[in-house]
Amino acid sequence: MTKEEDEKTVEKILERVRKVCGFIPVTNQILSERPDLFIPYSSLSGAIFENETKFDKKTKHLLALAAAAAMGSEHCIRNQMRESVALGATEEEVLEVLVIAAYMGMTRSQSYSFRAYAEQFGRKLE
C-alpha cells in the first residue's frame, strides 16, 4: 500500500470506531499515527469481534468485559459494558460477569501474594 492508501484506510477505520464507540479510544488515537501497526491491530480486533464464530457478538463482548474487569482496565470496562448492553446483554448478565471477573482478579492476587507469604515465612506448599 502507498502512504496515501494507508492514510485513507486509517481514516475509514477511525470513522467506524467513532461510529461504534462514539469517540476514538486513546489506543486508536496513538496507534493510528503508525498505519503499519494500526491497520493490522484493527484487523485483528475486527476478526475477533465482528466475525461470527462459536460465540455470538454479545457473548464476545461479555467475555471482553470480564477480561477488562479482571485486569482493571477502566475505559475498556465502560466500552465493553456499553457494547454488551447494546447487543442485548441484560443488567443481570452484566452483573454476573462483573462478579466472576472480580473473583478471578481476587484469586490472581491471592495466588501471587500467598506464594510470596509462604516463601517469606518458610511455609511449605504442595
Kindly indicate the confidence band of residue 21, based on its pLDDT and cuts at 50, 70 and 90. Answer: confident
Q: Which domains does the chain have, with CATH numbers?
A: 1-51 (1.20.5), 53-126 (1.20.1290.10)
Q: How far is CA 4 from the centre of its chain?
A: 30
Task: Count Cβ neighbours within 10 Å for each residue of 46-76 and write b for 16 or more, e otherwise.
Answer: eeeeeeeeeeebbebbbbbbbbbbbeeeeeb
Averaged over 8-37, what is the pLDDT?
A: 95
Give the tens place of pLDDT for each residue, 57-104: 999 999 999 999 999 999 999 999 999 999 999 999 999 999 999 999
- In the predicted model, is pLDDT for residue 42 greater than 90? yes
